[in-house]
Amino acid sequence: MKRILALTGLLFAFGAAAEDQTLNVYNWSEYMPDAVLEQFTAETGIEVNYSTYDSNEVMYAKLKTLQGAGGDAGYDIVVPSNYYISKMRSEGLLLELDHAKLSGLENLDPKLMDRGFDPGNRYSLPYLWGTTGLGVNRMLLPGQGIGAWADLWNPAFGNSVLLLDDMREVMGLGLIAAGYSVNETDPQRIREAYHKLKALMPNVRLFDAESPKVKLLEGEVRLGMIWNGEVYMANQEEAGILEYIYPKEGVMLWIDNLAIPKGAPHADAAHRFIDFLLRPEIAKQITEEIGYASPNLKAIELLPLEVRNNPTVYPGEAQMQQVHLQEDIGEALQIYERYWQQLKVN
Ligand code: SPD
């Protein structure tokens, strides 16, 4: 009997250990350097299965399907934007974080903590934040004065504009152009935004959110809306081709957050991973490589001055005066979705 118990114990220990040796990360594309994942595996022995998405909507739909199927959540780490954290949290899709397993929380910028989308950071911690502004290929448009979202409608840019393949970004653009909030919920105003966007379509060559910088660098498009880190990364490869511009109507701003889905198969490993990402030197490495802003104040201190003071990465005070923070719009999401589908089929 004793031997059977010992054997069961051994099998259990082996099972638990094996379970903790894997981590399934589902993150935005181009959002984490390979070296960071390799270092995590080298230090912990935990193998990372890494897959990517290019919109909150795709990530959410996948998770909903997996969780609805009754099995486990499939993923251990997801990185929703602030407005999806509140949605997923209220729908019970996220696991409460065990703060006792995480160190370095005090290094996170208080301005990005304890926000309305997750009071007390019970379900999420900020990973990176950034802006959506204008990207211009300066080889194709040298000296062209571009400083406003409204410039995208210029008839001179027929069939040469890039839009992000991201509903909130594009609907936000339409709403700004119509003079409304990017979080507008009034159906009539959303409809006006849609019509603004429809009028832009003759200039739109393509939608892309996987690697929009490539489309700009290759000259498939000449300008468009883009995430700040994309331009930073392009300039790391070859400086001076792409320019990131803060449009005068204001950039859109978002905060992407680390979270563990409810039913995550490896919740312990997920906590170890978040703990690892909270290390200032790791957070610094991420921002230095991909050019999105770290919320880790200790990491910012470690950044070379040319990164810390790079306005593409960290907007200046004047630029921060005019930002449009994307927020949860509740039921209005369905109205956005309807117009978004219509826009893309036309
Ligand atoms: N390739 C990484 C892009 C990160 C975008 N973050 C959030 C966008 C919110 N609409």
Which atom of ligand 1 is found nearest the CA of 30? 1
Reported as a single tens digit per residue, the pLDDT across 51-109 is: 999 999 999 999 998 887 777 879 999 999 999 999 999 999 999 999 999 999 999 99
Sign, CA dihedral 261-255-280-101, equals: negative
- Name all contacts of 116-119 with Cβ < 8 Å and 24+ positions apart: 116/86, 117/82, 117/83, 117/85, 117/86, 117/89, 117/327, 117/328, 118/82, 118/85, 118/86, 118/89, 118/257
> CA angle at residue 221 from 157 to 169, to 5 degrees?
90
- Whether 254 lines ligand 1, by a CB cut-off of 6 Å, is yes
19 pLDDT band, cuts 50/70/90, is: low
Query: 81 CB under 6 A from ligand 1?
Result: yes
pLDDT given at position 4: 37
pTM, entire model: 0.93
pLDDT at 67: 82
Phi (first) and psi of residue 188, to 5 degrees: -65, -40
Alpha carbon of 12 to ligand 1 centroid (Å): 40
Q: Under CATH, what is the fold of the domain 131-253+320-345?
A: D-Maltodextrin-Binding Protein; domain 2 (3.40.190)
| pLDDT(271) > 90 | yes
- Helix, strand, coil percent values for the chain (each to nearest 5): 50, 20, 35
d(CA 271, CA 223): 40
Assess whether pLDDT exceeds 90 at residue 2: no
Q: What is the pLDDT of residue 305?
A: 98
> Does residue 9 surpass a pLDDT of 70?
no
The arithmetic mean of pLDDT across residues 275-293, rounded, is: 98
CATH top class, domain 2-129+255-314: alpha beta
What does the block give as tokens for 232? 């930073």
Q: What's the CA gap between 110 and 107, in Å, rounded?
A: 8
Query: What is the distance between the terminal CA atoms of the chain, rounded to a whole angstrom?
Result: 71
Name, in order, each residue with C-beta under 8 angstroms of 2's C-beta and a sequence gap of 6 or more. none
Three-state DSSP class for 254? strand
Per-residue pLDDT tens digits for 217-232: 999 999 999 999 999 9
Ligand 1 proximity of 232 Cβ (cutoff 6 Å): no
Distance of alpha carbon 40 from alpha carbon 6, whole angstroms? 32
Is the CB of 29 inside a 6 Å radius of any atom of ligand 1? yes
Q: Which runs of consecutive H residues, i.e. helices, occur in 75-227?
A: 82-90, 167-177, 187-200, 212-217
What residue ranges of the chain are covered by domains with CATH 3.40.190.10?
A: 2-129+255-314, 131-253+320-345
- The residue whose CB lies within 8 Å of the most ligand 1 atoms, and thus the one to mutate among 254, 326, 336, is 254
Going by pLDDT thresholds of 50, 70 and 90, the confidence category of residue 5 is very low
Mutate to test the pocket of ligand 1, among 211, 256, 333 (most ligand atoms within 8 A of CB): 256
Q: Which residues contact 5 (CB under 8 A, 6 or more apart)?
A: none
Determine contact, residues 103/284, Cβ cutoff 8 Å. no
The full length of the chain comes to: 346
Q: What's the CA gap between 122 and 312, in Å, rounded?
A: 31
- Counting from 1 in the atom list of ligand 1, the atom nearest the Cα of 209 is 1
